[in-house]
Structure 1
Amino acid sequence: MSIANSFRAIQARLTMVMVEDDGMSTVEYAIGTIAAAAFGAILYTVVTGDSIVSALTNIISRALNTNV
């Protein structure tokens, strides 16, 4: 193996070591879980508000009303 080939092999290996992100998956899952929980809390707050509950109740009442 020539010196140039050895240098290229070492350079390729170092590049792969710097690019690998095996440890990132746990952090990404944690951040995704926190974001999903925050979105769920905000959605729950909005949906359980008085104006949304009354609007949904009116929509369902009108949909189930058989008097035309």
Structure 2
Amino acid sequence: MAEGRGSIRPLANDLGMSTIEYAMGSIAAAPLAAVLYTVITGSDVVEAIRGIIVDALNSGPAA
């Protein structure tokens, strides 16, 4: 079967490509997770979430 114009051909040798992608993703995700953890566990965010939950429980179902 002949390949037409614009057809996609797989790379000849892509060994290890997924390993480096996982490594780069982990390197990028670790500091982001640390920042998000710090923000979420901060007292302002915890109080805001608690306020939203208390308001929702006190308001009851919408009529």
Tell me the TM-score normalised to structure 2 length: 0.61
Question: CA-to-partner distance for each residue in 1:13-58, whole Å, 9 max, x for gaps?
Answer: xxx5xxx432332221111012222221111111011110111111
- 1-structure distance, mates of 2:23, 2:30: 11
Gapped regions of structure 1 (runs ≥ 5) = 1-15
Runs of 4+ in 1 over 6 A off after TM superposition: none
Bigger radius of gyration among the two:
1
Between the aligned residues of both structures, percent identity stands at 55
Tell me the TM-score normalised to structure 1 length: 0.58
2:50 aligns with 57
Gapped regions of structure 2 (runs ≥ 5) = 1-11
Q: Secondary structure at the match of 1:65?
A: helix
Aligned amino acid, residue 21 of structure 2: E
**Alignment size in residue pairs:** 49
